[in-house]
Structure 1
Amino acid sequence: MDSSVILFGEAECLVRTLQTFSIKEVGTPRWFKQHEHIEKFNMQAILSASAMHDEFIKELLVSDGKIPVLVHEMILVEVWKQKVFPILCQLQDFNPKSTFQIYMVIHHEATVINLLETIMFHQDSCEAADDSLLDLVDYCHRKLTLLVSKTINEGATNPDTHSLTQKADISCIEELQIQSAALEFEIALKALSLLRYITDHANSISVINRMLCTHNMPCVLVQLLDCCPWSRHTAGEIEKYINGKWQKIPEEDRIKMTKVDGQVWIALYNLLLKEDYQRKYDFNSYNKNQLLKLRNFLTEVLIDQLPNLMELQRFLALLAVQDPGPPKKWLVLEQVPEMWNHIVHENSGKWKAVAKYQVKETFSPSDNDLMQQGHSLAQIYNFDVMESLLPEKPKCGSCGKEATKRCSQCQGEWYCHRECQVKHWPKHKTVCQLMVTQKLQGELDMNS
């Protein structure tokens, strides 16, 4: 039996209502309602793509020209997280009884990029992105360079969020900060996929110039392969980040290419071997030396898994013995991305005022507001549909191990044993009671 999050008719109406918001409106009821709609679109897009059914969410977003709106809303929350969220965390008078709303804002960026990753696989989505494709290129560059710098400077990425958030003495704000940092790692890997799809389909001179000349994406990707933040050594074991978690890799599987590895190599292949790209790139001595590092990675085992890399290997061998000609100059009026600069310029000097306003007006909801939001999300996160989206079995809400039992009251949290459920109850109690209350209220409304 096929699961469905949203039907075509409802999606058609909701896609038309998508709009851009200001930084001050982030987290408001109107903003939250649109977040719910985008969450539905994301889940349905994943279901359709996984089942290889008609991807009507993608078609609607393309035909209604709403992909630039998604890009804007993703960058809006990115700016909010950088400029407003740190101020919120420092305000002494901010002690919310629930951080649910703030977490949903933080998670919104991940939801939007997940949706974009699903739909931008297709060429017509890239074409429909229009000028916002430049903003996407800049966004991907910000995320990937941050990922490289953190890996090099801190020597680790994506800490064990579950163990950190289970500490008894951790505050709600500290827990939010940890969750936000963990999401950044996930978002950066999604940005890598987005960049690959852009290199697959983009033929705009401005987009090509932005990737090759402004941001030197080939060298960024070389650095990314060099530090490989999605792979780590732990207690003598090699772990790789696969399907949203760190997994121990058996010795016989360590030479296998992961999906993330594949995205990097395909992006490099496109950037260096596509004719329009190759003529634009400046193969100066620095760039040449950086690119020649790739020869150490191009083993027979790797090429067997991705045979197209044989062409890249030949190109690098040729590059090692000769210098390509200078890049071709195009006399064009170059477009530049606008979204990030516009949002920052519009709110320059207002960040603290925005934070104080949101503390008072947005992130201090009444019990009734929280109940309504809980009810709305409970309808979106249908358990049967959610299970069909999970790539593996659910994890215990207390210890993180594989779980087989649900909370009997709310049916929303999983546990491996009774002991874990009892231990986790103080943290789970408020959410559990909220979901149960809303479920009962929904049943009463249906029967009245």
Structure 2
Amino acid sequence: MGALDFSEADLLQATGGKDAEPMQALEAERAILDLKLFNIAEVGCSAWMRQQEVVERLNAQAHRNAQQHSDEFVVEALVSMDRLSLLITDLLTFEVWKEKVFPYLRTHFAVSLDSVTSYLVLYHEPALTNLLEVTLFHQHACEAVSESALVELCDWCHRSASRLLQPITLPLTPADPKELLTRSPEDDLREREVEMSFATSMASLTILRYLSDHLSTLPLGIIPRLMRTNDTVALLVSLILAKPWQQRRGKQVHQYVGGQWVVAGRDSRGRLLQHEAQAWLAVTNLLTDAGSRAHLSLDSHRMEQLQRLRPLLNDVLLDQVPVLKNLALFLDQLVLSGGQQQQGSDAHNACLIIEQVPSIREALLRRSDWEKLAMQQKETFFGRDTQELSHSRLQAFMRALNLADGSDAIAESTGQQAAPAAVRVHVWRRLKLDLLEPWGDYTCRLDSSHATEAVQVEGEQGTRVHGTRQRLQAMEVAPDAKALPWRSKVAVVHGGVSAEAWVELPAAETRQLIDKLPKIVWVTVGLLATDGFALQLKCRKVEAAAHRDSALGCWCVYVPVGGALNVGAQSPEPAQSEGLKQHPALINVIG
């Protein structure tokens, strides 16, 4: 990767993501009016990249409007300008590109392409999915989508949700430092790809639930597509039983909450998760609606699968989602009747000989020169020009946010090495996946009164990285200081180079438990082998700065007070191997 290596949150903000400047209604309407459909050969071109940035900004604004319960002008503009079918077609186009073209480009993305461009391209699918998710919540938005696009969307949701049943290994906790030193660039890219794919699949459950909410107003061909062709009920039942939103590693149970994996506490046991609730609600809608139930074909296997849900519908679950009582009643009636109420509907369904055929994806799959197309895009859209454009875009973004001072920019442009007297630290509070709240900025000054110390980091297979360590000046704790958030994104800028880490500090459930927390916590951001520096930030427990996180319900008590800066040598010995490139920033929290 290049000198500028940014996290998902940085890239979202740089390109109009969830922390971007709010859009006005007229600006959003103009942007939506200018949306166009690109063919699969144009994925990655400059115009496509610009539209991707627009989609991310629209997605951020749509979520902002929904959370603030304000005028949802993004949704209304998408509906009135008939752009929802276009977004669905764009989603299908990128799905085919990712399935057929991207495998030939994966190594190029990992080794030769900078993280900025690779992230912007791969994030296109989650951005479109999130925008459709917040839009299709509204009934009039579902009604505005053409029948052909809705059929394609049903099929896409089925394909995407089905991936949740595949056995995959998700990074639930930060990787071990030794493991980071030995991982290949392809491993890093594949991990990011898996995380985005998992988030997209989870969002598809929400879209399925919204479609099931509005069955009575959707075109007639949608219900047979959901119930018979895709057998959505069987898929949802399998997901509820498999619980992909929950994984056990050793003695700990990890749950997918707010777009990230967290360790389930004792108080969260038995609590219904958001995506689990979406699956339950979708099943309830499909099985209790008279129109969709008419297309339900029952056999002994299907009866057995449905009855496996009944023991899960206990009082704890029904108290959280009372509407599930309708599903429990349906399952009880199904047992009593033995499924005989379906006999009359089978003859009716047998008369259905006309069905909407999905043509968009079929048309996209007609070409076969995928490898040739990948090589063309590698030379044109994902070559040196694209890397220089993304590099300059992020440099402008850093200057706009004051993440790099002028001396760093001048030194970089002249080829000279700058010697900054301070390290800038920026902290964002993490609310959920890709949703950050600016928290605070800190300036860590180097302590010239202490001599530098030589450091050496040794990895596996004999790899070594040399550098120096310089202490930081002690940072005064202001009377009105506020402790760092429990979960945060920390970005550090040194000499025009940025490193970042997702940090989860120790926190107390109640104020009385603060005394049991460690007095000092060290947070390491950056890796000598990949970022060229590593900041070791010393955080002290300061009860006067303690505050309760209203969203997460825990007490935060740690304030930065000093630390050290490790800077790698220009010519490490031995030279870095291919396994030492393009690693994510290290998160290292020591109590």
- Tell whether the structures are fold-level matches, with TM greater than 0.5: yes
Check if 1:120 corresponds to 2:163.
no
Q: Is the 8 A contact 2:255 2:263 kept in 1?
A: yes
Q: Distance in 1 between matches of 2:27 and 2:39?
A: 26
Aligned to 2:280: 265
Q: CA deviation at 1:168?
A: 2.3
Aligned to 2:411: none
Aligned to 2:43: 26
Q: Is the 8 A contact 2:253 2:264 kept in 1?
A: yes
Aligned to 1:68: 85
* 3-state DSSP of counterpart to 2:159: helix
Q: Distance in 1 between matches of 2:401 and 2:146?
A: 32
Structure 1: 5+ residue stretches without partners = 396-400, 430-448
Aligned to 1:163: 175
* Deviation readout 1:53-110 (Å, 9 max, x if unpaired): 111100000000001111111121211111111112357x995152432322111101
* 3-state DSSP of counterpart to 2:297: coil
Matches within 5 A, 1:141-180: 141-148=158-165, 150=166, 154=167, 156-160=168-172, 162-163=174-175, 167-180=180-193
Question: Higher relative CO (CA 8 A, sep ≥ 6), structure 1 or 2?
Answer: 1
* Deviation readout 1:350-373 (Å, 9 max, x if unpaired): 100011001111111335422344
Q: Distance in 2 between matches of 1:116 and 1:282?
A: 30
Q: CA deviation at 1:164?
A: 8.0
Q: Distance in 2 between matches of 1:422 and 1:325?
A: 61
Cα 1:387–1:403 change in 2 (3 A) is closer
Q: Normalised by the size of structure 2, how large is the TM-score?
A: 0.64
Letter in 2 for 1:243: G
Matches within 5 A, 1:181-220: 181-202=194-215, 203-220=218-235
Q: Distance in 1 between matches of 2:142 and 2:399?
A: 32
Q: Distance in 1 between matches of 2:204 and 2:300?
A: 28
Letter in 1 for 2:383: S
Check if 1:426 corresponds to 2:442.
no
Compare the two structures and name the one with the higher helix fraction. 1
Aligned to 2:246: 231
Check if 1:16 corresponds to 2:33.
yes
Cα 1:235–1:293 change in 2 (3 A) is same
Q: CA deviation at 1:424?
A: 6.1
Q: Which of 44, 52, 56 is equivalent to 1:39?
A: 56
Cα 1:381–1:123 change in 2 (3 A) is farther
Matches within 5 A, 1:336-351: 336-345=357-366, 347=367, 349-351=368-370
Aligned-pair RMSD on alpha carbons?
3.2
Q: Is the 8 A contact 1:75 1:340 kept in 2?
A: yes
Cα 1:283–1:104 change in 2 (3 A) is same
Check if 1:333 corresponds to 2:354.
yes
Q: Is the 8 A contact 1:161 1:182 kept in 2?
A: no
Q: Distance in 1 between matches of 2:365 and 2:117?
A: 23
Q: Distance in 1 between matches of 2:24 and 2:498?
A: 24
* 3-state DSSP of counterpart to 2:234: helix
* 3-state DSSP of counterpart to 2:23: coil
Q: Which of 370, 381, 389 is equivalent to 2:390?
A: 370
Q: Distance in 2 between matches of 1:360 and 1:187?
A: 29
* 3-state DSSP of counterpart to 1:427: coil
* 3-state DSSP of counterpart to 1:240: strand
Structure 2: 5+ residue stretches without partners = 1-18, 404-425, 440-485, 504-520, 534-591
* 3-state DSSP of counterpart to 1:283: coil
Aligned to 2:371: 352
Check if 1:361 corresponds to 2:446.
no
Letter in 1 for 2:364: I
Q: Which of 471, 475, 492 is equivalent to 1:407?
A: 492
* 3-state DSSP of counterpart to 1:407: strand
Cα 1:51–1:382 change in 2 (3 A) is farther
Q: CA deviation at 1:146?
A: 2.0
Letter in 2 for 1:100: V
Q: Normalised by the size of structure 1, how large is the TM-score?
A: 0.83
Q: Distance in 2 between matches of 1:3 and 1:96?
A: 28
Q: CA deviation at 1:382?
A: 11
Q: Distance in 1 between matches of 2:56 and 2:66?
A: 16
Compare the two structures and name the one with the higher strand fraction. 2
Q: Which of 116, 125, 129 is equivalent to 1:109?
A: 125
* 3-state DSSP of counterpart to 1:232: strand
Whichever of the two has the greater Rg, that structure is 2
